[in-house]
């Protein structure tokens, strides 16, 4: 499974959202999601997008996952384990359960559809 994800905030901080697509090994869409995540910074939106993707992976019991994000800072945070303190436990709960996970960066231009979804989520009404 390949997931492309993005986080967006209209300001820094401001209303924020995340978006992600999941494609199988044939390139067929399995899931598209976007979600409003309250007021956050751009960086936190990017990190939360990756965490949400990982939680979906666990929920759906997908074993192998390639996660692409256009945020090299967020990818680096997962590689080093240096996440914001209040997200550390959430990451610890996930990482022991994901069987095969690869994190990589991609160009923003290659992530445009996810960028649109994340930006759409920033303007969703609160529930």
**What's the CATH code of the domain at 86?**
3.30.420.10
Please give the residue range of the domain that contains residue 111.
2-122
The per-residue pLDDT for 114 is 61
Q: Give CB contacts under 8 A, 24+ apart, made by 22-31.
A: 22/53, 22/56, 22/62, 25/1, 30/1, 31/56, 31/60
Task: Note whether residue 127 is domain-resident.
Answer: no
Whole-angstrom Cα distance, residue 65 to residue 63? 7
Which pLDDT tens digit goes with each residue over 40-93?
999 999 999 999 999 999 999 998 999 999 999 999 999 999 999 999 999 999
- For the CA atoms of the chain, what is the radius of gyration? 13
Task: Note whether residue 63 is domain-resident.
Answer: yes
Whole-angstrom Cα distance, residue 5 to residue 20? 4
Number of domains making up the chain: 1
């Amino acid at each position: 499974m390949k997931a492309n994800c993005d986080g967006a905030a209209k300001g820094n901080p401001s209303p924020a959202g995340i978006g992600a697509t999941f494609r199988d090994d044939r390139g067929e869409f399995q899931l598209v999601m976007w979600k409003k995540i309250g007021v956050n910074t751009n960086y936190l939106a990017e990190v939360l997008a990756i965490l949400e993707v990982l939680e979906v992976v666990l929920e759906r019991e997908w074993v192998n996952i390639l996660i692409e994000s256009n945020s090299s800072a967020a990818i680096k945070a997962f590689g080093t384990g240096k996440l914001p303190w209040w997200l550390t436990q959430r990451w610890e709960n996930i990482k022991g359960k994901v069987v095969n996970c690869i994190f990589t960066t991609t160009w923003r231009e290659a992530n445009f559809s996810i960028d649109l979804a994340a930006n759409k989520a920033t303007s969703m009404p609160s529930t």
